[in-house]
Each structure stands twice: as structure tokens, then as C-alpha cells.
């Protein structure tokens, strides 16, 4: 039988705040276990939470990235359940009045993937299972750190669509400074809800949920595995059980974890210790103004305004750092394609496979080198030697070029000036050139060489003679 695949996502991203969301403990990865804790985030009786304004603003920012409408009134609610990594026995989250509603991302195919909402909540602590004899250790450092949860509509039908969507989400969150999305540190996790229905049917099938997938690859593999698993059950006339299944990336398969609880099991209710959040239009406007241009918009601009090929635009925007670097260069030296070539071919290879890299040369110095090459003061090979020398010594390109005696040619402009001078001072040369050009070319080249101490490029001089005489 043929089936339609229906997939919805819940994406958690850790917000880039200095402190936790309901107390003033530090929000940092890798601290000593339980170093960043206090009575609030360890759920001591009587401890009262505050709310981190920055976390609320970052959630609004995320909404603005994806075209959500921002609520004027939002409420934090308690989601009640017991788990050892959740000291309060409830998680503060949002149910009825989330901060962001609606929105969506258009995929390359033109298909719109709608968002249901983005809400703010707190993360739980971390359990480490040692052994049966030692038991399990708990670290509450992560407890109470701020998360956004992005909930989509069930609009996806393939693993490829999910992959493209997740990459776009991650890219936008990083660009806008909302989250680092370091997947290997659990900074971005994805839950996948998946069901099958007979092709063309309007009735949704029973869905399963796979939780906390933390790499693009495992999301794709988990989806492909689950589609196949459900297909086989349905083909044999079996029934899908609504449950949470745990993906085992090493084994390449998933296993039943628990049957799915319903929202009513959590007994959501407004947190009586936290006042409702009121978000004014002027706050939203201010946050909008602070937003940087997002990658998709930058790509469009690079193609339309700078005339770059799509290929260049995609590579340059693959990280915000590279994109910002490129744009700063274009401001210094308005030659986007030349700059793009230098960055793509010569700079990116220097930082190959490094994670948070920084180019080893400033935008100003790179532009100075590119300019020298473009004005034919030096050729590209010499330009690369100069690049290397600037990186090694940290000296200015112009200073190094002189020190290293790299300037072997004189600029096109200087040659043109000399040729024009000769033309205006020596009418006979022009006359002779008009009659028999070959006879005077040698003389003219010699004149230029004499006046540039032999540092002009003879071929260039010859081509410029034709322009001037």
C-alpha cells in the first residue's frame, strides 16, 4: 500500500543569555557539576522566581525571524511531572498564551512550512547513569536555563524537507544572536512526530514521537527508519501505538520508551509566582530594529545587488562571521566579485574545518592587497605572497610590499599618465605612430621604462599605447 507521510517538529534551542531564566545563576556550559545552582533552580520550598527580560526578548526575536505574530499578553504555566532532573516536579513553560504565534519558513521548493508557535520555557538538569552499584548522578547546572520551543504544524512529508528546515532554523537563530545551536552540546534538539495515512486520505494516522535528536544526520536516519517501521506494521494489518520511541544512533534503530502522555496529564496551570508578561508594540519595534539581516535575505541581496552567482552567495552566508566580513570588505573596496573570490578561494582554505574561526587578516588589509592586484601594482601570485607575509608579521600590506621589494610593476594609472605626458610634449611621436605604429612602439615602451626605473609591465604598456595614441 502507498502512504502519505505526515511529520511535525518540536525544536528546542538554548538561549544565549548570561543568566538562567527564573533566577540569577550563570547560564554556561561545562561548569563544575551543581556549581551554578540556587534555591530557585533547585526547587527549594518557598523560593521565588524572577523572569529574565533578555530571555523574553530573545524569544520575541526568534518570532520575528520566522514571521510569527508577537502576543501582547503571555503567560508562564507550570507543566507538572516528576523526574529526578526536575527538582521542582514541574517545568515552567507556556501553554495557552505563548509569546509567538504562527509564522513559517518557505523552503527552496516554494513549500511553506508553518509554525504553530514559539514559546519560552526552562530546561531540566542532567542525569548521568554511572552503574548499578554507584547509581545515577544529577547535575542541576542546566536546570532553569532558558529554552525556546519551536512547534511546527505537521506540514513535512520527507526527511529532506525536515533537514532543510532545521538548517534554516539553526542558521537564523545563530545569525540573530538568539542561540549558538551547538548540537553536540545539546544546544539544539529536535523531537519528531510522525504518522502515516493511506495516500490521499484526509484522516491522520496514529503518530509516534522521537525525542531529543541532536544531529541533522540522526534526524534524517531516525525519520527514514520510522517511516519504514510504520509501513511494515500497517502493511501487515497491524496498528501503530501512540508512544515515545528512543532513537539509538549507534544501532540505527528506535525502541519503545513510554506510551504517550496527553497534555491533560500535565495539569498545566498559570504559575502563581510569575506575573503575566505584557509585551508592548514599541518593545517589539525596538527589537525589530536590533535584528541583523538574516541569511536568506543576505543571499538575495548578494545576487541582486552585488551581482554574485548563487554559489558565491551561499558560501559567503554559510556563517554570519564570513558574511559580515565580506560586507565590511565591500564597504571598503566596492568590488564584490573580486572580494568574494579572495574569500572563497584564498581565505577559507586557511581556516579549513576549524569551528569558530576568525580570518587571520583584517578586512582593511585584505582589501589593500586586492586593490594592489586590481590596479596591477602587483600580480596575483605576488598578492598571495603578500597575504602570507601580512598574516605572519601582522604588518601593513603597503609597508611589507616595499620592504620585500614586491612592487615590480607600476600601476596602470601611472603608465597612462606617462603616456599622456609624452603625447602632449612630443607631437612627432603621435605622427609617427599614426603612420607606422610598430616603429615607435619600442621607443614609447623605452620612455616609460626609463621614467619608472624599469618597473613597468611591458605588455601592459603596449596595450595602453593603443588606448592613448
Instruction: Report the interface residues with Zn ion, using CB under 5 A.
Output: 23, 25, 38, 40-41
Nearer residue to Zn ion within complex by CB, 23 or 418: 23
CB contact at 8 A, 374 and 380: no
Nearest to 20 by CA among 43, 4, 2, 1: 43
CB atoms within 10 A of CB 434: 10
Q: How many CA atoms lie within 13 A of 430 on its CB side?
A: 12
Nearer residue to Zn ion within complex by CB, 40 or 313: 40
The string of DSSP codes covering 85-123 is TBTTSEEEE-SSS-SEE--EEE-TTS-EEEEEEEEEEE-
* Rounded least distance, CB 188 to Zn ion, Å: 23
CB contact at 8 A, 105 and 297: no
CB contact at 8 A, 236 and 226: no
* Rounded least distance, CB 120 to Zn ion, Å: 17
3 state SS of 261 = coil
Angstrom CA distances, 96 to 74, 75, 269, 270, stand at 8, 7, 9, 9
Nearer residue to Zn ion within complex by CB, 61 or 88: 88
381: exposed, middle or buried (Cβ count in 10 Å: 0-12, 13-18, 19+) = exposed
* Rounded least distance, CB 22 to Zn ion, Å: 8
* Rounded least distance, CB 307 to Zn ion, Å: 52
Measure the CA–CA gap between 256 and 164, rounded to whole angstroms: 27
* Rounded least distance, CB 29 to Zn ion, Å: 16
Nearer residue to Zn ion within complex by CB, 29 or 443: 29
* Rounded least distance, CB 59 to Zn ion, Å: 19
Nearer residue to Zn ion within complex by CB, 40 or 64: 40
Nearer residue to Zn ion within complex by CB, 40 or 316: 40
Q: What is the dihedral of CA 328, 329, 330, 332, to 10 degrees?
A: 90
Query: What's the angle, vertex CA 224, arms to CA 221 and CA 226, rounded to 5?
Result: 105
Nearer residue to Zn ion within complex by CB, 9 or 41: 41
Nearer residue to Zn ion within complex by CB, 38 or 404: 38
Measure the CA–CA gap between 307 and 313, rounded to whole angstroms: 10
* Rounded least distance, CB 41 to Zn ion, Å: 3
Q: In the chain, what is the straight-line distance between the N-terminal and C-terminal CA atoms, in Å?
A: 80
Nearer residue to Zn ion within complex by CB, 47 or 384: 47
* Rounded least distance, CB 142 to Zn ion, Å: 11
CB contact at 8 A, 271 and 77: yes
* Rounded least distance, CB 38 to Zn ion, Å: 3
Amino acid at each position: 500500500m502507498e502512504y502519505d507521510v505526515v511529520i511535525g517538529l518540536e525544536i528546542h534551542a538554548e538561549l544565549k543569555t548570561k543568566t538562567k531564566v527564573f533566577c540569577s545563576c550563570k547560564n554556561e556550559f561545562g561548569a563544575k557539576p551543581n556549581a551554578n545552582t540556587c534555591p530557585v533552580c533547585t526547587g527549594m520550598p518557598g523560593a521565588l522566581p524572577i523572569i529574565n527580560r533578555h530571555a523574553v526578548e530573545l524569544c520575541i526575536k526568534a518570532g520575528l525571524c520566522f514571521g510569527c505574530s508577537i502576543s501582547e499578553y503571555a503567560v508562564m504555566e507550570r507543566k507538572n511531572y516528576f523526574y529526578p532532573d526536575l527538582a521542582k516536579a514541574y517545568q515552567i513553560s507556556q501553554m495557552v498564551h505563548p509569546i509567538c504565534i504562527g509564522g513559517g519558513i518557505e523552503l527552496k521548493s516554494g513549500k511553506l512550512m508553518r509554525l504553530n508557535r514559539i514559546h519560552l520555557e526552562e530546561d531540566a538538569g542532567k542525569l548521568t547513569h554511572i552503574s548499578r552499584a554507584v547509581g545515577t548522578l544529577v547535575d542541576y547546572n542546566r536546570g532553569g536555563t532558558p529554552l525556546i520551543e519551536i512547534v511546527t504544524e505537521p506540514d513535512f512529508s520527507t526527511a529532506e524537507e525536515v533537514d532543510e528546515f532545521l538548517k534554516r532554523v539553526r542558521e537564523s537563530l545563530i545569525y540573530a544572536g538568539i542561540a549558538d545551536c551547538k548540537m553536540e552540546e545539546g544546544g539544539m534538539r529536535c523531537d519528531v512526530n510522525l504518522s502515516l495515512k493511506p495516500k490521499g486520505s484526509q484522516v491522520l494516522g496514529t503518530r509516534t514521537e522521537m525525542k531529543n535528536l541532536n544531529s541533522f544526520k540522526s534526524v534524517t536516519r531516525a525519520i527514514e527508519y520510522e517511516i519504514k517501521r510504520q509501513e511494515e506494521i500497517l502493511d501487515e494489518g497491524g496498528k501503530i501505538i501512540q508512544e515515545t520511541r528512543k532513537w539509538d544512533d549507534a544501532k540505527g534503530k528506535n525502541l519503545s520508551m513510554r506510551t504517550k502522555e496527553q497534555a491533560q496529564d500535565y495539569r498545566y496551570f498559570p504559575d502563581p509566582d510569575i506575573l503575566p508578561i505584557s509585551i508592548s508594540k514599541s518593545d517589539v519595534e525596538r527589537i525589530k530594529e536590533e535584528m541583523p539581516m538574516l541569511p536568506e535575505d543576505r543571499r538575495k541581496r548578494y545576487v541582486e545587488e552585488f551581482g554574485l552567482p548563487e554559489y558565491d552567495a551561499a558560501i559567503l552566508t554559510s556563517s554570519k562571521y564570513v558574511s559580515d566580513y565580506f560586507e565590511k570588505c565591500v564597504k571598503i573596496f566596492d568590488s564584490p566579485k573580486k572580494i568574494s573570490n579572495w574569500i572563497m578561494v584564498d581565505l577559507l582554505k586557511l581556516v579549513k574545518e576549524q569551528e569558530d574561526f576568525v580570518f587571520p587578516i583584517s578586512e582593511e588589509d585584505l582589501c589593500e592587497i586586492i586593490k594592489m592586484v586590481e590596479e596591477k601594482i602587483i600580480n596575483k601570485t605576488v598578492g598571495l605572497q603578500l597575504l602570507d607575509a601580512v598574516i605572519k608579521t601582522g604588518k601593513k600590506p603597503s609597508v611589507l610590499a616595499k620592504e620585500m621589494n614586491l612592487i615590480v610593476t607600476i600601476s596602470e594609472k601611472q603608465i597612462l599618465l606617462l603616456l599622456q605626458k609624452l603625447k602632449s610634449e612630443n607631437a612627432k611621436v603621435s605622427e609617427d605612430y599614426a603612420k607606422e605604429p610598430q616603429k615607435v612602439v619600442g621607443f614609447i615602451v623605452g620612455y616609460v621604462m626609463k621614467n619608472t626605473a624599469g618597473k613597468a609591465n611591458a605588455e601592459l604598456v603596449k596595450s595602453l599605447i593603443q588606448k592613448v595614441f
